[in-house]
Amino acid sequence: MDGWGDTLWTGLRWALFFVAVGWVGHRWLRRCTDWRARLRLVQWAVTGMVVGLYCLDRTFESFGYRARGIDTFIGYALVLVVVWLPSLYIARDYLADAVARFLTSFYDGGGREVEPRPVYSRAKALMFRSQIPEAVAEIRLQLEKFPTDYEGQMFLAELQAGHLNDLPAAQITIERLIEQPGHAPAQIAAALTTLAEWHLKFSQDPVAARAELAKIPARFPGTQVAQIAEQRLASLPSVDHVMEAHDRRKLRVEDRARPYAMGRPDVQMPVADTPAEAEQKLLQRLERYPRDNVTREQLVLLYADQFERLDWATRQLEIMIAAPNQQPREVVGWLERIADLQQRFGAEKRDVRRTLQRIIERFPNSAGAERARSRIFRLGE
């Protein structure tokens, strides 16, 4: 009897709970004006009642009342399916879209937004058809949407300088570009270098070209782009050289000297009657532009082939190796040339091996290090 009393008391408490839930739900339904919210409230209320009834059945079962467990569970489950079916029907489009996005994400990358970018394919097609004004108009249309796009501004300047013969307009475009925030130093340096090349190519004006290149080390002192600009400044021709370029006489290095000396067929000796005069001209140029690697390589070539002085040639190569911001590829090449010269002039094998070992120590995982190891192996003991 005590067990039945507990069961009745439990049932009474559940009944009170359902009455309270129903009363609260009724108040919410009266205040709620959105039918979707009303439906959701009814669904949760019925779900709570079904769960409560199922728990009540389990309670009666513990006191000897044997409900048909599986049938009862299936019945409650069917009630929940019927109650929540309208929501599934309402959300069918969303569910279908979610499934479709999941399946297509394996092919198109999913629903991530693609960053908008300018498109210059039409402008390039117009340029290839020699419709330059139309191509310029298309580029300007893209730049209205993306005013700081580097590629578009350089493309516009190229058309202005190379196709419309309007170098002042191209210069204005470049000057606007370099004043915009967000461009990397390498991009600004490339733009100024390109403008300098246009001054040389289209107007034969080395003074204007020098002025553009000088802006790079002024804006980025001590950087690699500054070093490259300084070397280009050192190699710029003067006005007289530009005017007399067609009369310039060149003294080329003999083919036998290239493999072990510089390995660069474009390195040429300056015009001079004697090696001493050539040396004097090169040294004077290095006094003005000490970072001019091309001139210093010419001096190495002169010392190796004309003076046959290994120590002088090596000293000039060591100066370039010790300079800051040098490209690893260039440093490896200079060390290899020292080893070439050492072998040419009959230096001890240990000296050649020591030079090659410097490549391995400085750039252990490079292709130059592999070449150095191979050469050390071939040297033997």
Mean pLDDT, residues 137-165 taken together: 94
Lowest mean pLDDT: which of 23-37, 132-146, 278-292?
A: 23-37
Q: What is the average per-residue pLDDT within 309-332? A: 92
**Tally of CA atoms within 13 A in the half-sphere of 45 that contains its CB:** 19
What is the rounded radius of gyration, in angstroms, for the C-alpha atoms of the chain?
A: 41
The owner of tokens 């050289």 is 241
| Distance between start and end Cα atoms, the chain | 108
Span 170-227, pLDDT tens digits: 999 999 999 999 999 999 999 999 999 999 999 889 999 999 999 999 999 989 899 8
Contact indicator for 340, 314 with CB cutoff of 8 Å: no
Q: Which residues contact 349 (CB under 8 A, 6 or more apart)?
A: 379, 380, 381
What are 11-49's pLDDT values in tens digits? Answer: 665 566 566 666 666 665 566 666 566 666 666 777 777
301 has a pLDDT exceeding 70: yes
* Angle value at C-alpha 83, between 19 and 97, nearest 5 degrees: 140
Least confident of 29-43, 257-271, 277-291, 350-364: 257-271
More confident site: 15 or 230: 230
Residue in the structure block whose two tokens are 């083919």: 255
Tokens for 275, please give them: 């090696």
Average per-residue pLDDT in the chain? 79
User: How far, CA to CA in Å, does 371 sit from each of 107, 356, 364, 380?
Assistant: 44, 9, 11, 15
Tell me: pLDDT of 100 over 60.
yes
pLDDT band, residue 111 (cuts 50/70/90)? low
> Quick one: pLDDT band at residue 88, thresholds 50, 70, 90?
low
Band of the pLDDT at 1, cuts 50, 70, 90?
Answer: very low
Please give the pLDDT value at position 248: 47
Query: In sequence order, what are the beta bridge partners of 251?
Result: 269
pLDDT of residue 61: 57
pLDDT of amino acid 120: 94
d(C-alpha 220, C-alpha 211), whole Å = 15
Q: What whole-number distance in Å separates Cα of residue 294 and Cα of residue 229? A: 13
pLDDT of the residue at 186: 94
Q: Which residues have a Cβ under 8 Å from the Cβ of 362 and sit 6 or more positions away? A: 328, 331
Q: What's the confidence (pLDDT) of residue 379?
A: 86
C-alpha to C-alpha distance for 158 and 127, rounded to whole angstroms: 11
The DSSP secondary structure of 58-91, one letter per residue, reads HHHHHTT----HHHHHHHHHHHHHHHHHHHHHHT
Question: Encoding tokens for residue 30?
Answer: 């009266």
- Residue 60: pLDDT band with limits 50, 70, 90: low
Q: Using the Cα atoms of residue 88, residue 91, residue 92 and residue 98 in order, give the sign of their dihedral.
A: negative
- 307 vs 313: CA distance, rounded Å: 9
Average pLDDT for residues 219-242, to the nearest whole number? 81
Q: Tell which wins on pLDDT, 39 or 65.
A: 39
Q: What percent of the chain has pLDDT above 90?
A: 49
Q: What Å distances lie between residue 301 and 26, 257, 285, CA to CA? A: 100, 8, 15
What is d(CA 10, CA 14) in angstroms, rounded to the nearest whole number?
A: 6
Q: What is the pLDDT of residue 127?
A: 93
CA 305 to chain CA mean position, Å:
44
Q: Of 172, 231, 173, 170, which Cα lies nearest the Cα of 201? A: 170
Longest dimension (CA), the chain: 131
3-state secondary structure of 294: helix
pLDDT class of 105 with cuts at 50, 70, 90: low
Angle at the Cα of 24 from the Cα atoms of 20 and 26, rounded to 5 degrees: 115
Residue 304 corresponds to which tokens in the numbers above? 């190796």
Q: Which of 28-42, 51-65, 83-97, 331-345 has the highest mean pLDDT?
A: 331-345
So what's the pLDDT on residue 44?
73
AA identity, residue 118: P
For the cut 50, the answer to whether the pLDDT of residue 285 exceeds it is yes
Q: To 5 degrees, how large is the angle CA 120–CA 123–CA 125?
A: 110
Q: Which is higher by pLDDT, 370 or 65?
A: 370
Q: Among 87-101, 111-125, 153-167, 248-262, which range has the highest average pLDDT?
A: 153-167
Q: Using an 8 Å Cβ cutoff, are 7 and 56 in contact?
A: no
Report the distance separating Cα 334 and Cα 317, nearest Å: 6
